[in-house]
């Protein structure tokens, strides 16, 4: 039986299918093929940094400015994930980035939830939405993102995140935001230690983050790694993306296996399926080939992912039981 997999770290705008982009581009009269076509969406081997990587989001940002576009994108992505055999995915996006044509953040969130519900309707896969505040976004819009997450928690939204160019604004600037989320019992993950310092990871854990997006820089600090293990923090690692953004210099130096062997709760994820030209299966094959992971290790990491998911407790218990029954009772 094929391994049941989970993707906790997946950005909607970085995972549009080429067919979806063509369709949406045609609707606004954008010459997709004439403006670079697929190459404008894929980081590829020429990517030199996180800033370079983020340029691939320019076109999706133009296209995802209506309810119809967001719903279609979420529907196509979720249907694709379900067809690949995933049992759980958390899809993240920043509603504040979709207001150029007058769309409100609430309407953007509702559109994505509708698309996800439509995409999972015929499949056993569960999917939730993570709302991203932006490192380089206005404070008030970030606050609104967290307020909307609280309002829609349990109605399709499962938590919040902080994304964007790490290091542009000091992590301490967002202290009030995450304290408020903690008070409101809104689960959160934080992009930290991707291309920034391990101190950002330590701060994120102290804020109350139960998961960390990427977390590569933890390998530079024994104290940081000890903290991650002690607090049972789930690391959402994305190997191909990390190589492209130069978060790590090579596959041999990627810390995923070192973290796993140390007992840190690591998971493998896609980050951006289109920008990184990847799938969860491709990530799994890569880490088996280059890091020596076994099928048993992959099962363990997927179980870590399920345990770290921001699902309601009863729902989580059900999906973990399903996973265990299908992976350990063959």
Q: Could you tell me if 32 and 62 are in contact, meaning their C-beta atoms sit under 8 angstroms apart?
A: no
- Spot the catalytic one: 5, 71, 194, 283: 194
Going from N- to C-terminal start, the domains of the chain cover 7-325
pLDDT digits (tens, 9 = 90+) for 116-164: 999 999 888 999 999 999 999 999 999 999 999 999 999 999 999 999 8
pLDDT digits (tens, 9 = 90+) for 78-117: 999 999 999 999 999 999 999 999 999 999 999 999 999 9
pLDDT above 70: residue 1 = no
Q: In what order do the strands lie in the sheet with 86-93?
A: 5-11, 86-93, 126-134, 157-163
Q: 7-325: which CATH number, 1.10.1740.10, 3.20.20.140, 3.40.50.300, 3.30.70.20?
A: 3.20.20.140
- The count of residues in the chain is 330
Active site residue 194: yes
pLDDT digits (tens, 9 = 90+) for 287-325: 999 999 999 999 999 999 999 999 988 999 999 999 999
Mean pLDDT over 28-38 rounds to 90
Q: How far apart are CA 74 and CA 114, in angstroms?
A: 8
pLDDT digits (tens, 9 = 90+) for 39-90: 889 998 888 888 888 889 999 999 999 999 999 999 999 999 999 999 999 9
pLDDT digits (tens, 9 = 90+) for 157-199: 999 999 988 888 999 999 999 999 999 999 999 999 998 799 9
> Which pLDDT score is estimated for 328?
64
2: pLDDT confidence band, cut at 50, 70 and 90? confident
> Which pLDDT score is estimated for 52?
86
> For the chain, what is the mean pLDDT?
94
């Amino acid at each position: 039986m094929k391994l049941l997999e989970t993707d906790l770290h997946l950005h909607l705008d970085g995972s549009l299918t080429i067919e979806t982009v063509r369709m949406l581009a045609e609707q606004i009269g954008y010459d997709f093929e004439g403006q670079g076509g697929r190459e404008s969406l894929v980081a590829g081997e020429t990517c030199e940094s996180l800033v370079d990587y983020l340029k691939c989001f320019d076109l999706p940002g133009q296209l995802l400015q209506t309810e119809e576009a967001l719903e279609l994108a979420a529907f196509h992505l979720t249907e694709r994930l379900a067809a690949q055999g995933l049992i759980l995915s958390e899809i993240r996006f920043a509603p504040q980035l979709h207001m150029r044509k007058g769309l409100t953040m609430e309407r953007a969130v509702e559109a994505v939830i509708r698309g996800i519900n439509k995409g999972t309707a015929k499949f056993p896969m569960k999917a939730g939405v993570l709302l991203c505040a932006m490192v380089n976004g206005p404070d008030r819009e970030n606050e609104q993102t967290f307020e909307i997450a609280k309002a829609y928690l349990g109605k399709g939204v499962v938590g919040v995140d902080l994304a964007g160019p790490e290091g542009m604004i000091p992590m301490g600037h967002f202290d009030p935001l995450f304290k408020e989320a903690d008070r409101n019992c809104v689960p959160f993950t934080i992009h930290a230690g991707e291309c920034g310092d391990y101190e950002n990871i330590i701060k994120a854990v102290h804020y109350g983050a139960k998961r960390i997006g990427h977390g590569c820089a933890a390998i530079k600090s024994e104290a940081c790694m000890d903290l991650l293990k002690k607090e049972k923090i789930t690391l959402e690692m994305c190997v191909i993306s990390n190589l492209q953004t130069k978060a790590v210099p090579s596959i041999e130096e990627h810390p995923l296996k070192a973290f796993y062997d140390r007992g840190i709760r690591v998971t493998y994820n896609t980050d951006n399926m289109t920008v990184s030209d990847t799938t969860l299966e491709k990530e799994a094959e890569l880490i088996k080939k280059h890091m020596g992971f076994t099928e048993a290790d992959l099962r363990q990491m997927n179980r870590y992912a399920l345990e770290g998911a921001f699902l309601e407790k009863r729902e989580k218990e059900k999906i973990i039981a399903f996973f265990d029954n299908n992976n350990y009772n063959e």
